[in-house]
Structure 1
Amino acid sequence: MPAPRLPRNSNTHPLKVEIEPVSTGDALARSRGLTGRDLSLLGYLDQHRVLTALQVTRLLFGSPHHARHRLAALYHRGVLARFRREVWPGSQSWRYTLGHVGAAVHAAATDTPLPKPSAVTEKVLRLAHSPHTEHLLGVNEFFTALAGHARTRPGCQLRTWTPEAVTADACGGIVRPDGYGEYSDPHGTVGFFYEHDTGTETLDTLTDKITKYAELARSGIRQPVLFGLPGPGRERNLHDAWARRWPTGPPVAVATTATGDTAVATDPVWLPAGHRQRRTLTQVATPARRHSPRREAA
C-alpha cells in the first residue's frame, strides 16, 4: 500500500538548515564590502527575523534575479543563514535570517553587545524548527507587499512597520497584534494594527480580540484593526460572528480582506464591519453610512 502523500507545508518534511561557520578572525574579513543595501537588509532581518527572496526583492531590489544572486553571495560569506523544507515536488523557497557575520555587523552598527556564534546558531535553529515561523512569514508577506507597491508608486510609502513584540509593548500588553503599520498614498495616511489569520483560531477567539482593542481604544489608542483572512468563506463567517456579537457594529473600526496579494495596497479590497462596500487601505478609517437592512428592503 503506498504511503499517504504529506501536505505540502507539513512540518514532517525534511528540514535543511544552512549556516556558514565563521571564526572571529574571519568575521571581520567577510564583513568588508557590505553595501548600504546589505546593511538595510540586516536591519530588516534583525527586526522581522526571517524573509524570503521575494520579500527581500520587494523591500530592496528591482530584480528578483539580482536579489537571489546577492542573497546567495551573502549566505556564502556567513552574513546570512538560510533554511527550507524539502517538499514534493522540489523545495520551498529559502528562508533567510541573520548568520554569524550579519548578526555581528548589525550589533556593531547599533552599539549592542556582539552575539556569541553559539547564540546565533541556536537562534537560527529555533527559528527554522518553530511552528510559528510560517505564520511570521505570512505577516511579513503582507507588509512587504505594501512596501513593494510603495517603492514603485509616486506618493506612496510604508512609513512604519513595527513587529509583534514591539507593538505589544507599546500597547501595554492589552493587545498583541501581529504588527503595526502606517501607510500613505496620494489620498491620505492610515495607521493600523494587523492580524494575520490562518484559520486555526476559532471565530469566537477572533471576535474576543476586538473587545481587547476596544479596551485599548479607551486608553487613547484608536487605530483601525485589519484582519488578513485565508479565504472568502472565513471572511463571511467572521463578519456574521461580529454582527451577532454587536448588531449595531463593533466598538472599534475593523476591516477584513481575503485577497492575500499586493492588491491590499491598491484596490478596494478591505471590507469594514457592518458595511457592504469595500474600500482601499487608506479609506478604512473614514466614516461611512452603515448598511441598513430596513432601507435596503424599502
Structure 2
Amino acid sequence: MSALPRPAHGPGSRYTARAATTRPRPARDGDVAALARRLTGRDLWLARMLHEHRVLTTHQIARLAYTSARSAQRRLRTLHEHAVLDSFRPLTASGSAPEHYTLGPVGAALLAAHAGLDPTALGWRPTTTGRIAYSPSLGHDLGVNELLTHLAARTHTASGSGLALWLSERSAARRWGDIIRPDAYAHWRDGDPLLPFFLEYDTGSQPPARVEAKLTGYAAFIAATGSRPALLLHTRTASRDQTLRRRLAAAARELDLQVATSSADFTTTDPWGPWWAPLEPTAHRTTLTGLAAHWPHLSPAAGLEPTDADTPLTLPVPPLPPDLGSGS
C-alpha cells in the first residue's frame, strides 16, 4: 500500500504506517488461490478475528493463539508479507510500541471467498488500516481488546475458565443497536457458572451524566427482551471508578440493573480476579465467577441465535483458534 500521510496535529499525528510500507509484499492477486492452500485454520481464524475486532497487537495475538511470542512474530511476519495482514506501529514518547495488526487485502479476499461473498460486502478498503491507525478511538478499542484477550486466554492456564463468546462493538450494534451499543458482549465461564455481560470500557472522556444515561438503555433492553446479562463498567483509574459508583448507584438500583465496576488501577493482566465490585452499598470486590454466584438469576442476552440475515462473517468468531498446538 502507498505511504499514509501523518497529520501534523491531532490523534493521527501519533501513528505511523511504517510496517505496512517498508516490509516486502511478494504476494499478488494471482497468488490468492495458491496461498489459501498454505494457510492453517489458525491463520483463517486470525483473519476473522481482525475483521471482527479491527485491530490486535502482537502481544494480544500471541496471548490468544501462540505458545510463544517468537512463534507469533514469525508467523505474523509471514502473513504480513503475503498481505493477509496489514500493520502499523504507534509512535511513543519512549521505547517502542508493539506491532498493531489489521486485516490486509489478501485476507479480506480470502474471507470473502470462504463466505461466498463479494469482497465489498466486508467493508474493507485500502484505507482501512490508515483509518484505524489515525482514529481517536484507537486507545479505547485496544483497551477493550486487551481486557477481553486476557479473559479469553485464561483457558490456557486454567482449564474450564475463559470466554465462551466474545462479540465486538460492531456485532453488538448489529444485534441490539436500536436499544443499546455496548463496547462488547461476552460470556465468562468458570466450570459451570456462567457470567453473561455487556462491557462498557470507560476512558474518562465522557461526563458522568452521559455514562449514567446509558443505564436507561440497558434497562429498556431487559424490559424488551426478558434476558438479563450483567453490565461491567471498567475505568482507567480508581478515582474515576469511585466517581462513577457514586453517580450511578441510585440509578442502577431504581432500574434493577446488575452493575459491577473495576479499573486498570486494580489490574490489567488478570481481570478475572477479585477486582469487581457490584454497585451495591455493602458489596465487596470479587471475581467474575463471584459475580455469577452473587447474581444467580442472570441470563444470556436475547438475539444471539443466527437468523436468515446472518452470513458466515456475521456469526460469532470463537475467542480462541482451532489449532493452538501447531508451532508455526
**Preserved contact between residue 256 and residue 271 of structure 1 (Cα < 8 Å):** yes
**Preserved contact between residue 242 and residue 249 of structure 1 (Cα < 8 Å):** no
Picking from 116, 122, 130, the partner of 2:127 is 122
2:230 pairs with 1:224:
yes
The DSSP-based 3-state class of the residue aligned with 1:121 is coil
**Preserved contact between residue 16 and residue 91 of structure 2 (Cα < 8 Å):** yes
Q: Structure 1: how far apart are the matches of 2:250 and 2:185?
A: 28
Q: Structure 1: how far apart are the matches of 2:51 and 2:131?
A: 15
Q: Flag the 1:254–1:22 CA change in 2: closer, same or farther, 3 A.
A: same
C-alpha RMSD of matched pairs (Å): 2.4
Equivalent in the alignment of 2:262: 257
**Preserved contact between residue 45 and residue 51 of structure 1 (Cα < 8 Å):** yes
Equivalent in the alignment of 2:153: 148
Any idea what the Cα deviations from partners look like across 1:33-92, whole Å, max 9, x if unmatched? Answer: 111111111111111111001111121111111111111111112111001222232432
Equivalent in the alignment of 1:294: none
- Once the two structures are TM-superposed, the CA of residue 113 in structure 1 deviates from its matched residue by 1.2
Equivalent in the alignment of 1:291: none
**Preserved contact between residue 211 and residue 251 of structure 1 (Cα < 8 Å):** no
Q: Flag the 1:176–1:21 CA change in 2: closer, same or farther, 3 A.
A: farther
2:248 pairs with 1:242:
yes
2:70 pairs with 1:69:
no
- Any stretches of 5+ residues in structure 1 without a counterpart? 1-8, 289-298
**Preserved contact between residue 153 and residue 162 of structure 2 (Cα < 8 Å):** no
Q: TM-score, normalised by structure 1?
A: 0.85
Q: Flag the 1:287–1:90 CA change in 2: closer, same or farther, 3 A.
A: closer
Q: Give the residue type in structure 1 aligned to 2:118.
A: P
Q: Give the residue type in structure 1 aligned to 2:16.
A: L
Q: Structure 2: how far apart are the matches of 1:273 and 1:91?
A: 38
Higher RCO, Cα 8 Å, sep 6+: 2
Q: Give the residue type in structure 1 aligned to 2:160.
A: G
The DSSP-based 3-state class of the residue aligned with 1:120 is coil
The DSSP-based 3-state class of the residue aligned with 1:227 is strand
Q: Give the residue type in structure 2 aligned to 1:45.
A: L
Q: Flag the 1:86–1:21 CA change in 2: closer, same or farther, 3 A.
A: farther
Equivalent in the alignment of 1:15: 16
The DSSP-based 3-state class of the residue aligned with 2:126 is helix
- Once the two structures are TM-superposed, the CA of residue 129 in structure 1 deviates from its matched residue by 1.7
Q: Structure 1: how far apart are the matches of 2:294 and 2:16?
A: 48
2:57 pairs with 1:43:
no
- Once the two structures are TM-superposed, the CA of residue 22 in structure 1 deviates from its matched residue by 4.8
Paired residue total: 277
2:289 pairs with 1:282:
yes
Q: Which aligned pairs between 1:188-203 and structure 2 lie closer than 5 A?
A: 188-203=193-208
Q: Structure 2: how far apart are the matches of 1:97 and 1:134?
A: 15
Equivalent in the alignment of 1:164: 169
- Once the two structures are TM-superposed, the CA of residue 21 in structure 1 deviates from its matched residue by 7.8
Identity %: 35
Any idea what the Cα deviations from partners look like across 1:127-170, whole Å, max 9, x if unmatched? Answer: 22211222111111111010111232111231100111221232
- Any stretches of 5+ residues in structure 2 without a counterpart? 1-9, 296-328
Q: Give the residue type in structure 1 aligned to 2:60.
A: Q
2:211 pairs with 1:206:
yes
2:99 pairs with 1:94:
yes
Equivalent in the alignment of 2:138: 133
Q: Structure 1: how far apart are the matches of 2:15 and 2:229?
A: 42
